[in-house]
Structure 1
Amino acid sequence: MFLYQIHIKSLKQSTFLKRSIGMSVLYILIANLLYAQNADTAKGLDEVVVTAQYQPQSLRKSVYKMQVIDQKKIQARAATNVQQILSGELGIRFSNDMALGTADINLMGISGKSIKVLMDGVPVLDRGEMRESLNQINAAQIERIEIIEGPMSTMYGSDAAAGVINIITKKPKSESFQLNAQVLEETAGKEYNAFTNKGLHTQQLSASWAKGNWNAMLGMLHYDFGGYGADSIGRNHSWKPKEQWIPSLSLGYRKEHWNLAYRNDYLLETIYAKGAINTDIYKATTQTFTTNKIAQQLQFNYNWNPKWSWNSSLSYTDYKRYTKTELIDYNTRTKELTQGEGQQDTAKFKALNFRGSLLYVLSTKLSLQPGIEYSLDAANGARIKGHPVIHNYAAFLSLEYKPTDKINIRPGFRVNKNSLYEAPPVLPSLNTLYRINNNISVRLSYAQGFRAPGLRELYFTFQDANHNLNGNPNLKAEYSHSFNGSFAYRKPVNEKSEYSTEVAYFYNTFRDLITLAPDPNDSRRYIYFNIAKNRTTGISLANKYITRNIEWRIGGLLLGQYNLLLNEEDIKDPNMAKMSWSPEFNVEMMYQILCTKTKINLFYKFTGRRETYAATTSPSGEVIAQLTSRQAYCIADLNVQQQLTNMIGLTAGVRNLLNVNNLLDSGAGSGSVHGGGSNLIPFSYGRSFFLSLNFNFNNQLNK
């Protein structure tokens, strides 16, 4: 009740909000520590992580502050895509582009273009600065998701200035054969037709096998979204219809000292944008966006002995996106291709990445990890100037020094050479961990990050009724400095129970941040500039309590953002030089009734009002900064999972229980690059209900 009252009053008074959150954070922390001190000491529950680690190890021994979304939570979310898995996490927000039918992620106030997305440690290719690939992955094949907040450019290079999201896929279990299938039907708001057209319809099938040294996995996902918000004749959807086919294949071979793994992921995605009918001439346009992507990766690891080991990966992605625009004449019932700019287009993107690192354990106190990385990015198409190719060469070195069992110090640096832009000569980082005892740890870190301008930001041109943006080949790379600190406390209660709490603080500064702004010579035309200055800071609190039949997670975040588009001497409004603050709060409950094999899962998140500055033009044509704000909102998901037999389970639930549809955003009007003139931005198609039937078969093979 106390936290609820704070939440309600915070919507009215921002000053009281910050004080109340600070007091509640302190109150929860003290109460939880007192409780944990009275608990009996026992063996705890450890999560094993692999992202940026020398070797797989427990989360509490990692020098990085990491967030892990494990398999239990993924199953509890009953998600069909990664966006549904991540949307309830603190510091994560999504934005939707209705014209393109895509979504982008925001982490701790930083947009998705500065977030590195990995699959099993290998970079995932996006055709632009948006991280739309997060919704082009089969969620049923995800084992867990590891998130590192803060610059990871020393380890992973460009695009990791804000953090890393590593999606770890499921691996075949030793000496077994498994078969999994799922059919999920979901409404889109109040719209639904069984198994086709309106609503969401998902079917997935996967099989895995492991015997001796060999293992293999096959998977297929079919996702069909019929769109939402169409007119009376089924056109002009506010949410575009989308269909995806995602087959995948993985093969692995393991010997005593080495292992080899190959993975192939294919995507066929079609998005339909059906325009409204012009009743004067009874004609309408239909745009079809088709994505065809093949992503291949090969991983090879070799362990000579306990002191020497080699890890390497090679990936190649071929990405094609086709745009087809047809004019439909309802009088003559004929179709013809339109001739407007960009209405018939094929954009091709190719990416090659090689990464290799050598681990040398000199002693129990000192380890070295040198590595090299090469990447190639190429693009061509009617809306891309020329046939640009970017080569990037990098070498990195990190060492781990443990003077005692309680202290871990990991410095590192990276050098880059790029074929198109001036890369930073050296990127340093320093991460430290001090384990006061087995249950209390303190982490402090500093890292410098950078993000190279992408091919689309350099060379892409896109003009239609909703967009008018242009690349800028003179862009410079972004630079950032980041400081992070955290205090973590955990207390095993018994073999099945554990309590933990973590308080964290971060501070980031960005220079030459790349952003879209109106062209001074044409206010209707947007172009990429290095004009923005940005700072983000925040404090967070995360609490977790796990027992045999229930798991509670309660957390809060106060995020501050300083987003200045003009030089300090040009500021006329003193409020523009202030930090804007936005709170977040979430509660998660996963409860299991052991006797009936029933699980009840509840996820709630409050996201506060956020202010920022957007570039726009004054009546005189001058580029100015405009204060914009996006309203606060709450989301909640609830589902019940019932195991019917050892192999068959049923899940029923509701997403967006509070029925949030559109959000008021003062910067989403006519001054936006997307145009449209409305101050409402789409968040969701409202409350939806779903039913899922799951089949799992597991057969242990004789050894």
Structure 2
Amino acid sequence: MKKIIYILFLIIPHFLVHSQNQLKDSVKAKEISEIIVTAQFEPQSLKKSIYNIRVITQMDIQNLAANNLSDVLNQYLNITATPSSSSGRSTVSLFGLDAQYFKILVDNVPLTNEAGLGNNTDLSQINLNDIEKIEIVEGSMGVTHGANAVSGILNIITKKSSTTKWNINMITQLETIGSEFSLFKEGRYIQSLKIGHNLNSNWYFNIGINRTDFQGFLNDKNGKNHIENDQSRGYSWLPKEQWNGTGLLTYKKNNFRVFYKLEFLDETVDHYNTTVQSGYNDELGTYRYANDKRYFTQRFFHHANATGKLFQKLNFNLSISHQEQERKIEDFRYYLFTRKESNINKTKDQSMKVFYSTGTISNFFISSSFDIQLGYETVHNTGFALTQEANSTYVPIEKVLENYDVFASSEIKLNTSLSIRPGFRYSFQSKFDDQQATSLGIKYTIEDEGLEWRASIGNSFRTPTFEELYSKMIFDGHFFVGNENLIPEKSTSYEVNFKKNTLIQKKINLTNTLATSFLQVKDRIDMALIRFNEDTGNPEYQYVNINKYQMWNFSSTHQVKNENWTFSLGAALIGISQTIKTESIQPNDKFLYSLNINSSISYTVSPWKTTFAAYYKYNGKTQQFIVGSSDYEISTIDESHWIDASVRKLFFKNKIETTFGVRNIANLTNVNQTRSNTNTAHVSASQIMLAYGRSYFLKLAYNLNF
């Protein structure tokens, strides 16, 4: 009942406002012009887009004092950023589908990692200091963005120009890790420097460097140098140091622009074994040691892009990118009495090398009511992994996956109110059968009433990952292997979205939206029991196309905004059905529902040059069916609350910016996860570590523009 009240509370204002507008003929709808580029023929205002696009502004990033993408996405409906304390990674899921189905791009180019291209991206490795804004499109985007854009895409738009001749930006940020902080020993430390320069009216360049030093979260552990074998050595959240470097060179003249962008990532994650061992030799006498390891990750991202006109008419956009990400593992013995390392062995564990190119051409016709866009995409992906086979034998595997895609879409304006956009993509695959994707988008607007209605249908596909195809983990009764015979998953999504924009007394802009969507994935890949070994009796597991996934989403968002303040409130009810086929257990396709609520408020006191901001996210209880030993079991993750707040102030003619805030005010750490059998009273419980508690941060930025 409480959930129903929440939903009614969010939806009713939409209809109250609409009724109020009918009584006030003088109130007109208006939307602030927001230029977007994702999935568009050319940059255009947000309200003209046939797709429903969410924009995360630079102001939101600044108010959150966010250093990586995970800090930002915590606050948005339908999106869940999931950190891992054991690996240091943080990944994203949308509509309950994990990071394999959600594509992350930088300036329309998918970002690679050692496990995928655009997917399985570690959010903590994406630095935000060079970002202009973020655009998110939900639903199947297979036509415009190819494989693996099943649940949606996120496009990071970086800064490529400056309004001043020189711009120099320096940032330092200190943050506690929960209650843990000691200068240069505990906490998180961030330093950044960026320099940009307009060489003349055509040429611009910038370079930047960012360092993030996360000292780890001890919690109930005792750190690196703890000598007792009581399983309390090490950290609950692994220490990590990152260096991010960027460089940009841009040339622009008339309608032609070309840029080259380089990004570099260097990351070190320290893993300290909880087990302390003892030994003796003549040189050291009695000694204690632990077998520790480090993870080294490096990424190079090269991107060259050109946009302009051909034959003074046709619009073209061409991108070429080469990317490489590699992870190495360094194993070593750490002597606790002498605090020295020995037996150091470094091995390449995973890597991905990608050549990527995409291009589009449009504006074939003089008519403003009809246009066609033609495009291509090529991917040459070389993946490497070190697999563990029987008898602790490690075998390197290197494979090449390629695809060559062509796609076409058109925008047809039937009249001033109604537009449609059909699209089609054909993908030539080197490993799998050729794939297709189709889409149809419809937009209907009534300008005088401020009404926008959008509907879309699209299908996409997800190709199996390198891990699902080729991984092997065979040791001590464990048998988990990939499957080279996997086929791509197929998805279909439907979405309907209503938006109402209202201008009240020419000062207050009110936006109300109501949306529903349905997503279905067939031939979903999962790890499944395939047999029991006749010789050992041990179970053997393999990735197979076994599941069917369905999702319903109902959401409503409301925003009130004027010159100095903004308030937003939203809710989403998500229902998920997963059908897992096994020989011994009857499939269960029941929908299980969860509720998300978010809200934010910001207020700027202009005379003080100060902005107060607060963000709230409620993640309701989530459930899913999982296969047990004899029947389905329900896995339940309890609800959680996330609250951030900050105060940002400008000094000395806006040259110095300070931000003080609190992250995770609700002090979220662990949430309960229970498993209960559907036919028995048996219940088991565990805990998931989602965060390290309430943290305080202070950010100082110096901006010199001249």
* Fold shared, TM-score > 0.5 on shorter chain: yes
The one-letter amino acid paired with 1:369 is Q
Deviates more, 1:289-298 or 1:196-205: 196-205
| 8 Å Cα contact 1:565/1:625 also seen in 2 | no
The one-letter amino acid paired with 1:637 is D
Alpha-carbon spacing, 1:450–1:614, altered in 2? closer, same or farther (3 Å): same
Note if 1:256 corresponds to 2:241. no
| 8 Å Cα contact 1:197/1:225 also seen in 2 | no
In 1, Cα distance between the equivalents of 2:29 and 2:348?
A: 62
2:148 corresponds in structure 1 to: 159
| 8 Å Cα contact 2:326/2:348 also seen in 1 | no
User: How much has 1:266 moved relative to structure 2?
Assistant: 0.2
Instruction: After superposition, give the CA deviation of every residue in 1:396-448 in whole Å (9 maximum; x if it has no partner).
Output: 01011111111110000000111111232x31110110112251011111101
1:605 corresponds in structure 2 to: 617
In 2, Cα distance between the equivalents of 1:493 and 1:35?
A: 11
Alpha-carbon spacing, 1:77–1:466, altered in 2? closer, same or farther (3 Å): farther
2:371 corresponds in structure 1 to: 367
What is the aligned-residue identity percentage? 27
| 8 Å Cα contact 2:85/2:238 also seen in 1 | yes
User: How much has 1:346 moved relative to structure 2?
Assistant: 3.6
Please state whether the residue corresponding to 2:17 is helix, strand or coil. helix
1:310 corresponds in structure 2 to: 316
| 8 Å Cα contact 1:43/1:494 also seen in 2 | no
Please state whether the residue corresponding to 2:12 is helix, strand or coil. helix
1:188 pairs with 157, 162, 177, which one? 177
Please state whether the residue corresponding to 1:404 is helix, strand or coil. coil
1:60 corresponds in structure 2 to: 47
1:79 corresponds in structure 2 to: 66
2:18 pairs with 24, 33, 43, which one? 33
Please state whether the residue corresponding to 1:382 is helix, strand or coil. strand
1:243 corresponds in structure 2 to: 241
RMSD: 2.5
User: TM-score, normalising length from structure 1?
Assistant: 0.90
Within-5 A mapping of 1:8-157: 16-35=1-20, 38=24, 40-41=27-28, 44-128=31-115, 131-157=120-146
User: TM-score, normalising length from structure 2?
Assistant: 0.89
Please state whether the residue corresponding to 1:19 is helix, strand or coil. helix
Alpha-carbon spacing, 1:463–1:600, altered in 2? closer, same or farther (3 Å): farther
Please state whether the residue corresponding to 2:623 is helix, strand or coil. strand
The one-letter amino acid paired with 1:608 is G
Alpha-carbon spacing, 1:125–1:498, altered in 2? closer, same or farther (3 Å): same
User: How much has 1:331 moved relative to structure 2?
Assistant: 5.9
Deviates more, 1:327-336 or 1:27-36: 327-336
| 8 Å Cα contact 1:36/1:499 also seen in 2 | no
| 8 Å Cα contact 1:385/1:460 also seen in 2 | no
Alpha-carbon spacing, 1:128–1:526, altered in 2? closer, same or farther (3 Å): farther
In 1, Cα distance between the equivalents of 2:379 and 2:676?
A: 36
In 2, Cα distance between the equivalents of 1:115 and 1:256?
A: 36
Instruction: After superposition, give the CA deviation of every residue in 1:565-620 in whole Å (9 maximum; x if it has no partner).
Output: 12699427xxx43100000111100111112111111001111001112345x2xx
Please state whether the residue corresponding to 1:161 is helix, strand or coil. coil
Note if 1:577 corresponds to 2:567. no
User: How much has 1:337 moved relative to structure 2?
Assistant: 3.4
Note if 1:293 corresponds to 2:304. no
1:172 corresponds in structure 2 to: 161
Please state whether the residue corresponding to 2:15 is helix, strand or coil. helix
Note if 1:637 corresponds to 2:641. no
Alpha-carbon spacing, 1:117–1:469, altered in 2? closer, same or farther (3 Å): farther
Please state whether the residue corresponding to 1:64 is helix, strand or coil. coil
Alpha-carbon spacing, 1:119–1:580, altered in 2? closer, same or farther (3 Å): same
The one-letter amino acid paired with 1:560 is G
User: How much has 1:380 moved relative to structure 2?
Assistant: 2.1
2:188 pairs with 200, 204, 229, which one? 200
| 8 Å Cα contact 1:394/1:416 also seen in 2 | yes
| 8 Å Cα contact 1:633/1:660 also seen in 2 | yes
1:389 corresponds in structure 2 to: 400
Number of residue equivalences: 664
Alpha-carbon spacing, 1:224–1:519, altered in 2? closer, same or farther (3 Å): farther
User: How much has 1:668 moved relative to structure 2?
Assistant: 12
Note if 1:349 corresponds to 2:356. no
Please state whether the residue corresponding to 1:388 is helix, strand or coil. strand
| 8 Å Cα contact 1:463/1:469 also seen in 2 | yes
| 8 Å Cα contact 1:103/1:131 also seen in 2 | no
| 8 Å Cα contact 1:601/1:639 also seen in 2 | yes
Please state whether the residue corresponding to 1:577 is helix, strand or coil. coil
Within-5 A mapping of 1:292-691: 292-304=298-310, 307-330=313-336, 335-337=341-343, 344-362=347-365, 363-383=367-387, 386-424=397-435, 426-438=436-448, 439-461=450-472, 469-493=480-504, 497-518=508-529, 520-521=531-532, 526-566=541-581, 570-571=585-586, 576-616=588-628, 618=629, 625-646=632-653, 647-666=655-674, 679-691=686-698
Alpha-carbon spacing, 1:228–1:468, altered in 2? closer, same or farther (3 Å): farther
The one-letter amino acid paired with 1:427 is A
| 8 Å Cα contact 1:125/1:133 also seen in 2 | no
Please state whether the residue corresponding to 1:296 is helix, strand or coil. strand
User: How much has 1:350 moved relative to structure 2?
Assistant: 0.2
| 8 Å Cα contact 1:516/1:615 also seen in 2 | no
1:672 corresponds in structure 2 to: none
User: How much has 1:626 moved relative to structure 2?
Assistant: 2.9
| 8 Å Cα contact 1:478/1:510 also seen in 2 | yes
Deviates more, 1:375-384 or 1:238-247: 375-384
In 1, Cα distance between the equivalents of 2:415 and 2:349?
A: 58
User: How much has 1:469 moved relative to structure 2?
Assistant: 4.5
Instruction: After superposition, give the CA deviation of every residue in 1:183-242 in whole Å (9 maximum; x if it has no partner).
Output: 100000011122x23111001111112231101111111000000026224442111000
The one-letter amino acid paired with 1:377 is N
Alpha-carbon spacing, 1:466–1:106, altered in 2? closer, same or farther (3 Å): farther
Alpha-carbon spacing, 1:520–1:591, altered in 2? closer, same or farther (3 Å): farther
Please state whether the residue corresponding to 1:595 is helix, strand or coil. helix
2:282 corresponds in structure 1 to: none
Please state whether the residue corresponding to 2:90 is helix, strand or coil. strand
In 2, Cα distance between the equivalents of 1:197 and 1:466?
A: 41
Instruction: After superposition, give the CA deviation of every residue in 1:529-565 in whole Å (9 maximum; x if it has no partner).
Output: 2111110111100111111110011000001100121
User: How much has 1:625 moved relative to structure 2?
Assistant: 4.1
In 2, Cα distance between the equivalents of 1:526 and 1:201?
A: 43
Alpha-carbon spacing, 1:313–1:680, altered in 2? closer, same or farther (3 Å): same
In 1, Cα distance between the equivalents of 2:477 and 2:154?
A: 30
In 2, Cα distance between the equivalents of 1:266 and 1:524?
A: 43
User: How much has 1:642 moved relative to structure 2?
Assistant: 1.6
Please state whether the residue corresponding to 1:31 is helix, strand or coil. helix
User: How much has 1:349 moved relative to structure 2?
Assistant: 1.1
| 8 Å Cα contact 2:531/2:539 also seen in 1 | no
| 8 Å Cα contact 1:264/1:294 also seen in 2 | yes
1:8 corresponds in structure 2 to: none
The one-letter amino acid paired with 1:150 is G
| 8 Å Cα contact 1:262/1:297 also seen in 2 | yes
Note if 1:284 corresponds to 2:296. no
* Bigger fraction of residues in strand: 2
The one-letter amino acid paired with 1:200 is R
User: How much has 1:90 moved relative to structure 2?
Assistant: 0.4
In 1, Cα distance between the equivalents of 2:675 and 2:197?
A: 52
Within-5 A mapping of 1:209-228: 209-210=197-198, 211-228=200-217
